[in-house]
Amino acid sequence: MNDTIRDVVFVDGVRTPFGKAGKLFEETRADDMIIRCIRSLLRRNPGLPPERVDEVALAATTQIGDQGLTLGRTAALLAGLPKSVPGYSIDRMCAGAMTAVTSVSSAIAARQYDIAIAGGVESMSNHPMGEGVDPNPRIIAEKLVDPEALNMGNTAENLHDLYPHITKARADAYAVGTQQRYAAAVERLSADVTTMAARSTDDGWTVATADELPRPGTTLEGLANLRTPFRPHGRVTAGTAAPLTDGATACLLADAETAAELGLPVAMKMVGYAFAGVDPETMGSGPIPATEKALARAGLSIEDIGLFEINEAFAVQVLAFLDHFKIADDDPRVNPWGGAIAVGHPLASSGVRLMTQLAREFAVHPEVRYGITTMCVGLGQGGTVIWENPNFKGAK
Amino acid sequence: MSATPYATPLDLPDFEEEVVTEAHVRYLEPRGLGGKAALITLDNGYDHTKPSSFGPGGLKNLWRALDEVESQEDLKLIAVTGKPFIFLAGADIKLMPSLESREQGLALAQAGHALYKRLKDSTVPTFAFVNGVALGGGFELALHCHYRTVSTSANGLGLPEVSIGLIPGWGGSQILPNLIGVEKAAQVIVGNPLNQNKMLRGTDLVPMGIADAEFEGADFLEESLEWAVKVATGETAVERPEVDRSVWPAVIAGARQLVDEKVHNASAAAVRALDLLELAQTATFEEGSLAEDEALADLEAGPQFQSSIYAFNLVRALGKRPEGAPSPGLAKEIGKVGVVGAGLMAGQIALMFARRLEVPVVMTDLDEERAQKGLAYVRAEIDKLEAKGRTSRLKAAKLRALVSASADKSVYADCDLVIEAVFEELGVKQAVFAEIEPIVSEECLLVTNTSGLSVTAMGAKLAHPERLVGMHFFNPVAVMPLVEVIATDKTDDATLATAYAVAKKLKKTAVGSADRPAFIVNRLLGRMLAEVTGAVDAGTPIEVADVALDELGLPMRPFALLELVGLQVAWHLCQHLNEDLGPRFPASQNLRRMAEAGFPVFDAAAKGKGRLTEEAKGLIELGGEASSAEEVKERVLKGLAEEVRFMLDEGVVPSAKQIDLAMIMGAGFPFWLGGLTPYLDREGISTAVSGSPFLANA
């Protein structure tokens, strides 16, 4: 038996355009969105015989209705993958797709799979946060979690409380910056955005080609007077939070030898990953311990990281991360092509968007050797994956 | 030409009952197009069970949508698609009977042309994204677009107009032959409608040259748009093979011959469609359109179309909800079926029940050898279904597991329904039920597949005659869509409801019949044959009598029908009807001699044509009174009218509608006759023979 660990590579990633919940994709099935992503992946990689896919791991936070029925399997079937290709569903709330990637990657490294598809979808139009949840009464009885922590906006306000130096003004400035970076990068991003048919009973069909949510003209003045919906006179506004979003992502992972055999491109090489827990009440700090853990395991330090793709659930949570690692709010290494505050955050699908975006950034940053994708997770978790840039031209 | 100017949709009066199809317009800016695309969605606001169609309102909506689209600047392509699973199912068929004059029909034809022409003449490239059902006017809309994509999962595509007495009159007869050649066009426009209205599937269109590209259903619209952008920008060139015009006259001549052979040119629509296809070789599009307008207006005003609509509605409405059926809620669950007999008919019935009900089916026969022979037949049929891909490997395995056979009738003990398919003789059938009744539960349905014996008499000795019901299937049972359901005076509602529920699960059209001799179809076909053989017995040469009904366009001539059902069976029926219904069903001695001949009566070389062998011709004895074909036709039609009146008076069926439905589904009588009684009514035969028409509104 060969017990050596193999290199895992990120071959390619795609996503649908992201739509505003209740708008563009309100009448579009979540499974159809991820099916479109899987089919696009297969079309973009014609060298991959579909029957060689060993696993389809798909994430959704709310696994009922069109996101239920073991989405990984049903979407694989409906996408036209051979019936011999298995699939399963996976959930770690916002880090669903990220966990799909780490799970199948571990299996690839351990020689259990050669090729896998991982992704996620969330129709927040049809599956709003908290749909159908039934929290255990012990959460309240034993004061395990402040019930308010089930609302993510409250946890963001909590972070402002905990880190008073992260002011609303800093959050607003961060949000303006990410909108601008997205706007500047939209053409480059579009290379990995597939078109998606969307029907409206009242208006007929359209084919979405672009993200619906970004507000390229966002200004500090515009953000200053927004309502703070989570707390009177609070600091978190719609302008500094990721909007409710519909969208799907999927990516192709392989071991390095199989990728070479099939002529599949290598966009990133996985270095390692970690997940970590924090207080649910300040779930936004999750990326901090997750990143420290991942770096430690990889034998790297934060200085080794040349690009950061951090999911912007809230500006405050990104700023907490940056402060912890002593990185400037406007450091060009952080979300250089914009983040979730601009593009949106369809919960379980966002992890793969971060990776797809990092892969593109790697391609134009041969001076960067390592990058991370990291995100916070509801109920107090963080997840971080460290990637190596195959285009790195520097001294190793 | 009419003096009024050429109509557009805006000139049409509204049709109150129209379910109006909207034409939603959305503008897209697809990558690489360098401008705007207009995507028009045709949608009547209902789900796929109510397909979108075009009446005046729908035509107007698309007209206005095109007005709006054409006013856009920087427009690079126009695409039309439909709601999920439906592109457009054509002109609203409910509208047709409301056309009060030829002028109104003409205006409707012109309006469709005027609208579709805009797609054809558009300076911006037009595309049809055929995502689903596209019939008649829907198919023609797609034909007018410059380019077509089709979903490989689409079903229900084609030009079925001829089947309801019309022609594809919104450009179909002119565009299609010039697109794919006249031979394939004749198949789509005439051949398929006359062949049980065969439809095309999505995967047929590209190979036939009708669509330019096909995409899978999963992301059909996205891929269609991507392709359309490439076509519009010139990145992808669409090449279509040159149509071979040299074969045109020969193909038309061949098609005319086929229509003559198949329906003896009785279908005015088929003949007219061929005229238009012929014209399409040389006519300009404008000339062709005008000819279509005239043909459509003529046919819409003609009797065949009215009858066809009547028949269409009969099959659609009455076929789904049989009249006289008790509440479906009373029906019992059928968990196991017994078939008495293991002969050919029994085997067919066993297989049909197993396929459609998916419950265990057990056959019995007199001894183990016959039972196993019957089972072997069923298994061989299952093998054939599997080999042809008509059933999956798994379903075939399931069917093999479901059907069994035995010589021991105790296997019926836990059946919920036992159907007999033994020899057509009352005594035999009575004996079968007498033997079975003590074995089965009191609740078990007893069903006879008799083709005309008295069901009441069959149940006379039963302890529980209330669970006896007749279900007369037609041969071959897997193919023929009709079942006659016969209740006796004693049959209870639960039994009758179950029989109808079973018929529905078997995917049959059920028509109720009173327990009268030969029920509906065999009685009328028997009367028809009685009149034909009567004419021959009286002195009319067979060659004359056999073609006398040609102009009706029945699926087969009388002697071909005799060949199909078998002379012994026909003679058996003849005697039986003579005994039960009297001398208007004479025991034809020519028929008797043919049935008892002991040598081949029909020419095997002309199988299915009912042509007598030279030897058999010697059996025919002609009397001294020869009739002309016209006289034979009149004799047959009067006979049929008389029989229909008797049947209505006897209460065989509640109305003439059930007779028409039964003749359409059981005997293949054509839509253009409306089955039977609309034709008898409009020819005045009903009134001449029985004092009044059979249908109040015909």
Contact status, residue A283 vs residue A321, Cβ threshold 8 Å: no
- Condensed to tens digits (0 to 9), the pLDDT of residues B448-488 reads 999 989 999 999 999 999 999 999 999 889 999 999 999 99
- Condensed to tens digits (0 to 9), the pLDDT of residues B610-635 reads 999 999 999 999 999 999 999 999 99
Burial class for A333, CB neighbours closer than 10 Å (0-12, 13-18, 19+):
middle
- Condensed to tens digits (0 to 9), the pLDDT of residues B642-698 reads 999 999 999 999 999 999 999 999 999 999 999 999 999 999 999 999 999 999 754
Structure tokens at A21: 């919940």
- Condensed to tens digits (0 to 9), the pLDDT of residues B132-152 reads 999 999 999 999 999 999 999
Single-letter amino acid code for the residue at A42: L
What's the domain count of chain A? 1
Same domain, B496 and B353: yes
Three-state secondary-structure class, residue B8? coil
Same domain, B458 and B558: no
Q: Which of A199, A203, A207 lies nearest to residue B30, judging by beta carbons?
A: A207
- Closest by alpha carbon to B559, among B583, B575, B535? B535
Q: Which residue of B has its CA nearest to A75?
A: B218
Query: Is A195 in contact with B41 (Cβ distance < 8 A)?
Result: no
Which domain covers residue A295, as residue numbers?
8-127+243-387
Report the distance separating Cα B509 and Cα B622, nearest Å.
41
Q: Does A23 touch chain B (CB under 8 A)?
A: no
Same domain, B282 and B365: no
Same domain, B253 and B355: no
Single-letter amino acid code for the residue at B317: A
| pLDDT band of B5, cuts 50, 70, 90 | confident
Last residue of a domain, one of B513, B533, B568: B513
Three-state secondary-structure class, residue A9? strand
How many CA atoms does the CB half-sphere of B553 hold within 13 Å? 25
- Condensed to tens digits (0 to 9), the pLDDT of residues B578-588 reads 999 999 999 99
Tell me which chain B residues have a C-beta less than 8 angstroms from the C-beta of A36: 218-219, 222
Q: Which of B39, B216, B218 lies nearest to residue A205, judging by beta carbons?
A: B39
How many CA atoms does the CB half-sphere of B576 hold within 13 Å? 21
Of B449, B522, B627, B686, the active-site residue reads: B522
Rounded to 5°, angle at Cα A285 from A282 and A291 = 155
Report the distance separating Cα B574 and Cα B562, nearest Å.
12
pTM of the full structure? 0.95
- Closest by alpha carbon to A178, among A133, A139, A215, A229? A215
* Domain presence at residue B684: no
Contact status, residue B455 vs residue B490, Cβ threshold 8 Å: no
Residue B319 has pLDDT above 80, yes or no: no
- Closest by alpha carbon to B132, among B228, B226, B23, B43? B43
Query: Is B24 in contact with A204 (Cβ distance < 8 A)?
Result: yes
CATH code at position B373: 3.40.50.720
CA distances from B662 to A333, B324, B519 (A): 79, 14, 10
Same domain, B192 and B270: yes
Same domain, B464 and B613: no
Q: Which helix (H) or strand (E) holds B563?
A: helix B558-565
- Closest by alpha carbon to B340, among B420, B439, B267, B237? B420
* Domain presence at residue B575: yes
* Domain presence at residue B111: yes
Same domain, B32 and B173: yes
* Domain presence at residue B462: yes
CATH code at position B182: 3.90.226.10
Report the distance separating Cα B501 and Cα B333, nearest Å.
9
Contacts of B223 by beta carbon, 8 Å cutoff, 6+ apart: B149, B215, B216
- Condensed to tens digits (0 to 9), the pLDDT of residues B337-384 reads 999 999 999 999 999 999 999 999 999 999 999 999 999 999 999 999
Q: Does B522 qualify as catalytic in the annotation? A: yes
CATH code at position A77: 3.40.47.10
Question: How far does the CA of residue B83 sit from the closest CA of chain A (Å)?
Answer: 8
- Predicted confidence at residue B460, as pLDDT, reads 94
Same domain, B553 and B594: yes
- Predicted confidence at residue B320, as pLDDT, reads 80
Q: Does A79 touch chain B (CB under 8 A)?
A: yes
DSSP B615-652: HHHTT----S----HHHHHHHHHHHHHHHHHHHHHHTS
* Domain presence at residue B306: no
- Closest by alpha carbon to A194, among A210, A183, A212? A210
Structure tokens at A122: 């969330």
Rounded to 5°, angle at Cα B582 from B579 and B583 = 115
Residue B135: what are its φ and ψ, rounded to 5°? -120, 150
Residue B318 has pLDDT above 90, yes or no: no
Q: Which residue of B has its CA nearest to A199?
A: B83
Low-confidence stretches of chain A (pLDDT beneath 70): none
Within B80-162, residue ranges assigned H as helices are: 102-121, 137-144
Question: How far does the CA of residue B29 sit from the closest CA of chain A (Å)?
Answer: 8
Helix axes B268-279, B248-263, angle to 10 degrees: 180
- Predicted confidence at residue A15, as pLDDT, reads 98
Question: How far does the CA of residue B609 sit from the closest CA of chain A (Å)?
Answer: 48
Residue B2 has pLDDT above 60, yes or no: no
Q: Does A376 qualify as catalytic in the annotation? A: yes
- Closest by alpha carbon to A122, among A185, A71, A74? A71
* Domain presence at residue A172: no
| pLDDT band of B317, cuts 50, 70, 90 | confident
* Domain presence at residue A158: no
Q: Which of B45, B81, B222 lies nearest to residue A36, judging by beta carbons?
A: B222
- Predicted confidence at residue B100, as pLDDT, reads 81
Structure tokens at B212: 């330019």
Same domain, B162 and B65: yes
Same domain, B237 and B96: yes
What's the domain count of chain B? 3
Which domain covers residue B193, as residue numbers?
9-301
- Predicted confidence at residue B4, as pLDDT, reads 63
Cis amide leading into B476 (omega within 30): yes
- One-letter-per-residue 3-state SS of B456-500: HHHCCCCCCHHHEEEEEECCCCCCCCEEEEECCCCCCHHHHHHHH
- Condensed to tens digits (0 to 9), the pLDDT of residues B273-292 reads 999 999 999 999 999 999 99
CA distances from B307 to B510, B657, B660 (A): 21, 12, 11
- Predicted confidence at residue B1, as pLDDT, reads 42
* Domain presence at residue A50: yes
> In the A/B pair of chains, how many CB contacts fall below 8 A?
60
- Predicted confidence at residue A395, as pLDDT, reads 87
* Domain presence at residue A95: yes
- Closest by alpha carbon to B357, among B416, B300, B312, B298? B416
* Domain presence at residue A75: yes
Query: Is A36 in contact with B219 (Cβ distance < 8 A)?
Result: yes
Last residue of a domain, one of B451, B484, B513: B513
Q: Which of B24, B29, B221 lies nearest to residue A197, judging by beta carbons?
A: B221
Three-state secondary-structure class, residue B332? coil
Average pLDDT value over all residues in chain B:
95
* Domain presence at residue B660: no
Question: How far does the CA of residue B137 sit from the closest CA of chain A (Å)?
Answer: 20
- Predicted confidence at residue B697, as pLDDT, reads 55
Same domain, B489 and B547: no
Burial class for B155, CB neighbours closer than 10 Å (0-12, 13-18, 19+):
middle
Q: Does A209 touch chain B (CB under 8 A)?
A: yes
Residue B412 has pLDDT above 70, yes or no: yes
Same domain, B389 and B444: yes
* Domain presence at residue B196: yes
Structure tokens at B550: 């040609």
Cα B419 off chain centre by:
27
* Domain presence at residue A290: yes
Q: Give the gyration radius of chain A's Cα atoms.
A: 20
